[in-house]
A and B are shown apart, each in its own frame.
Chain A
Amino acid sequence: MKITSADDLEAARQAGLQKLQPGKPRIAVGLATCGIAVGGNKVYERLREIIKRDGLDIVLTKTGCIGYCREEPLVNISIPKKPLVILHKVTEADAEEIIKQVSRGKVPTDKALCRVPSWDHITGCTLEYGKGFTRIPLYAKVPFFQDQQKVILRDTGLINPEDIDEYIAVGGYKAAMKVLTGMDSEAVIKEVEKSGLRGRGGAGFPTGLKWRITRDAKADKKYIICNADEGDPGAYMNRNEMESDPHMLIEGMIIGAYAMGAAEGLIYIRAEYPLAIKRLKLALEQAREYGLLGSNIFGTGFSFDIGIATGAGAFVCGESTALVSSIEGRTGRPHPRPPRLTDVGGGLWGYPTDLNNVETWCNVPVIIINGSDWYAKIGSEGNTGTKVFSLVGKVDRVGLVEVPLGTTLKTIVSDIGNGGANNKKVKAVQTGGPSGGCIPVRMFDTTVDYESLNRVGSIMGSGGIVVMDEDTDMVDIARYFINFATGESCGKCVPCREGLKHALLLLNRIMAKKGTRKDIENLALLSDTIVATSLCGLGQSAPNPVLTTLAYFREEYDALVKP
């Protein structure tokens, strides 16, 4: 059945709403990678067994991850006319009691994390669940969720990512239809420009401008690519976005392809994300069945489809020219720029190419539906919108945190994250992955936006925030990152390949207490040269952990060498 009109879309929407609120109890088990890693599948199977055994009229389905990873496995219970209830730390053993309660129109309150009377899906749909269960805390009062603002994560952990109808039910593909049937390329690009959206992969380049440059390049073919390599260890926002709400990404790419005049899109996704690959492939198939991808979408004459290209374990392939080389079947060795990807002769197979991060694409549908003015009011000037961060490491409340840009580190780590785990004192955070720097706790009033983080020697990166506590050895952290960069360096240019190698030798010597003051000086000199002369972003930013720990934790280095 192909969707060719607003009526068709509405019909699919109604079908989806029927699935989300089927008029009978619906249980949804959180089955993203982290939920599965802690036994989510076993919970699902056990529930299924019991429902079948007792012949009950209960809908059992899958959902993604709502972001409170520490509390996994999570299970949603929706009883007609009652609030949606989210249960946490559910085990197989809880299954019997859950079913028993649900058959009576109740929920096991001792396992309940929170209740949701209604949920605003941001893209023009608010689902009303119901009243009751007043002893269970409200979602909005749960400390982890309280200071968050969900825009990108509006559907994750609530809809079934393997069913396109549920995405359409909450407003999905309305933006694509609005664009393809009622806007021209210039209008779309202007909206994205006015929204102030900046690249969520870390560089923060204005997205609208990149789209404009790509659109204006003179070539008979263009490509758009989604960077789903997510190489930063500690960052898994994109993984959740793809596993829990894959259609959001697809819809964003359809809109972008239309605006830039591309007929082919590619998602370059790391091989270490098998579930995300599986869910994306399924979502693409479903979109094709509905005619949302393929030729003559919505009967407008615009044709576009998306392919998947897998990575193979190379962090450097997150760099744009290396990523393109990888897709072309070559090793991931970056090219000097110019030419840029958006230049004629510089992109995929030589054609102008727009490359955006998963989360950047995911921002597009909400901008189109709610308007650039609405979007620009979130966050701060020059840093509009929200950003999803992965708050991990030695922090109490571990999970995915979505806040407006401009929120302070203190809010994220202390208020949302509740500070150090096991009552330890937080010492620092590392932002931006291996390309970023370590920021000491005394600077946690730093706001999380592109410029502020650059000013203190770090970067936003893709959104990983790793918390370190009083027991963390900061020189060990510097060594960890240099070791990582050495292993991931493509090896093409001398400063990165040879420089990092010797930086690691110096750090090893220092950590083995065989180093001297001169070694620390040489480490700093070497780091500066690697930053100034490397060919690509990997080398240019790899010394950041060293430079920031030298700047903020010098005493830890000094303690390891003779005075």
Chain B
Amino acid sequence: MDETTLDAIIARYEAPSGRLLGILGEIQDQEGYIPRETLAMLAEKLDVRLSQLYSLTTFYSYFSLTPVGDHVITVCMGTACHVKGAPGILQALEGMLGIKSDTSEDGKFSITTEDKKFTLEIARCFGACSMAPVLRIDGNLYGYATKEDLPTILAEYGWEP
């Protein structure tokens, strides 16, 4: 992220309440993750220590420190979705994308395919519980997802079997 863009984001958050998470949230939304250089730049500009920002980015699930693929698939693992088969959806997606979920050392669930096309993540709840199980790809929600639907849905984003 270049400095002008970062300055513009910072300028949108004058009030101290909600400032840090707001700025980090915008960086995450724009870049898909929090680049290391950006975090260091931010520490300087806001006169906070890097370790404090690093604590924030590793504590909160919304932030990723590693780049994501072209498309981000997020499976909701909320209670209603769990009860309606979300674990099966997650497993099917792992199979389709050829990746394995293992509990990473930092507790964040985010795996990217080798060709960097897809990143698979989980969310705790989108609040669309009435249409469980719910899937989100690049900001688009898909309700009542079934394993059978997955190939068609993913094909829209350039997935090939």
Contacts and interface: CB of A to CB of B under 8 A. Distances in A.
Interface of A: 33-34, 36-38, 69-70, 72, 230-236, 239, 264, 266, 268, 271-274, 307-315, 326-332, 348-349, 390, 392-394, 398-399, 430, 433-434, 464, 466-468, 472, 477, 480-481, 484, 487-488, 490
21 contacts: A33-B128, A38-B144, A72-B130, A232-B125, A233-B80, A234-B79, A234-B80, A268-B18, A310-B25, A311-B60, A329-B16, A330-B52, A331-B56, A332-B60, A349-B17, A390-B129, A392-B80, A393-B79, A433-B79, A467-B83, A480-B82
B28 to A, nearest CB: 8
B75 interface: no
Nearest to A483: B77
B129 A392 contact: yes
Interface string B49-68: 00010011001111100000
A234 B129 contact: yes
Contact of B124 (A348, A398, A477, A488): A488
A328 B16 CA distance: 7
Interface string B119-147: 00001111111111010000101111000
B68 to A, nearest CB: 15
B139 to A, nearest CB: 8
A contacts with B: majority SS: mixed
Given A312-B62, A326-B21, A272 B126 contact: yes
A69 B19 CA distance: 35
A36 B130 CA distance: 12
Contacts of A348: 17
B151 interface: no
Contacts of B123: 272, 313
Given A37-B141, A233-B80, A272-B125, A392 B130 contact: yes
B144 to A, nearest CB: 7
A488 B124 CA distance: 9
B108 to A, nearest CB: 9
Contact of A310 (B18, B125, B131, B144): B18
Contacts of A481: 79
Interface of B: 15-22, 24-25, 52, 55-56, 59-63, 76-84, 107, 123-132, 134, 139, 141-144
Contacts of A311: 21, 60, 62
A313 B18 CA distance: 14
B83 A308 contact: no
A312 B132 contact: no
Contact of A309 (B22, B81, B83, B132): B22
B84 A33 contact: no
A239 B134 CA distance: 16
Contacts of A233: 76-82, 124-125, 129
A470 B25 CA distance: 42
Residue of A273, A330, A393, A481 with highest tally of chain B CB at under 10 A: A393
Q: Kindly list the 6 A-B residue pairs having the minimum CB-CB distance in the complex, ordered from nearest.
A: A309-B18, A233-B78, A69-B130, A313-B61, A329-B20, A236-B127
Contacts of A314: 59-61
Contacts of A488: 124
Nearest to B57: A312
A234 B78 contact: yes
Given A309-B17, A311-B21, A327-B17, A392 B132 contact: yes
Given A309-B21, A394-B83, A332 B59 contact: yes
A307 B15 contact: yes
A464 B62 contact: no
A373 B113 CA distance: 61
Contacts of B82: 233, 480
Contact of B61 (A34, A312, A399, A466): A312
Nearest to A464: B79
A312 B25 contact: yes
B126 A484 contact: no
A239 B127 contact: yes
